[in-house]
């Protein structure tokens, strides 16, 4: 009995997949300023790469931004309560324009990462 490999078709360019797997480069100088462990920077770099290269809808992009914010400690418990309350009321996950901007600003200021993709509002 011969087993054939399972082929999974991805809607990504091979180079995009490689960038997602490798993660976004965060400079050593920026890493030293924040003094977090390698695991945290590795997680952030992969989240940033996924945001940049995966073909995500707005809800997927907002989910990644929320994950980035939680990894960086940007959102307070009250912020997360507001986000979860919106999810319960509307049935969809989304960030407000101000919440998105807060993450974009932090990425630019602290990691020198500019997400070129304009978020849909």
As given in the structure block, the two tokens for residue 75 are: 């959102």
Return d(Cα 107, Cα 76) in angstroms, integer: 17
CB hemisphere CA count around 56 (13 angstroms) = 21
Look at residue 28 in the predicted model and tell me its pLDDT.
75
Q: Report the 10 Å Cβ neighbour count for 1.
A: 2
The answer to whether residue 6 scores a pLDDT higher than 90 is no
Give phi and psi for 74, each to the nearest 5.
-80, -40
Look at residue 120 in the predicted model and tell me its pLDDT.
46
pLDDT in tens, 45-94: 899 989 988 889 999 999 999 999 999 999 999 999 999 999 999 999 99
**pTM, 2 dp:** 0.72
Look at residue 3 in the predicted model and tell me its pLDDT.
77
pLDDT in tens, 16-55: 666 666 667 777 777 666 767 678 888 898 999 899 888 8
Q: Which residue has the higher pLDDT, 118 or 94?
A: 94
Q: What is the largest CA-CA distance in the chain?
A: 58
64, 59, 35: which is closest to 48 by C-alpha?
Answer: 64
Return d(Cα 32, Cα 52) in angstroms, integer: 24
Residue ranges covered by each domain of the chain: 14-111
Confidence class for position 11, pLDDT limits 50, 70, 90: low
Return d(Cα 5, Cα 41) in angstroms, integer: 34
Return d(Cα 72, Cα 77) in angstroms, integer: 13
């Amino acid at each position: 009995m011969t087993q054939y490999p399972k082929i999974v078709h991805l809607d990504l360019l091979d180079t995009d997949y490689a960038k997602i797997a490798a993660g976004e480069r965060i400079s050593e100088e920026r890493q030293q300023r924040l003094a977090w462990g390698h695991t945290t920077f590795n997680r952030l770099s992969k989240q940033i790469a996924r945001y940049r290269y995966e073909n995500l809808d707005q809800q997927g992009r907002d989910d990644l931004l929320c994950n980035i914010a939680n990894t960086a400690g940007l959102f307070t418990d009250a912020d997360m309560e507001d986000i979860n309350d919106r999810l319960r009321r509307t049935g969809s996950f989304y960030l407000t324009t101000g919440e998105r901007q807060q993450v974009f600003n932090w990425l630019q200021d602290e990691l020198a990462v500019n997400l070129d993709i304009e978020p849909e509002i």
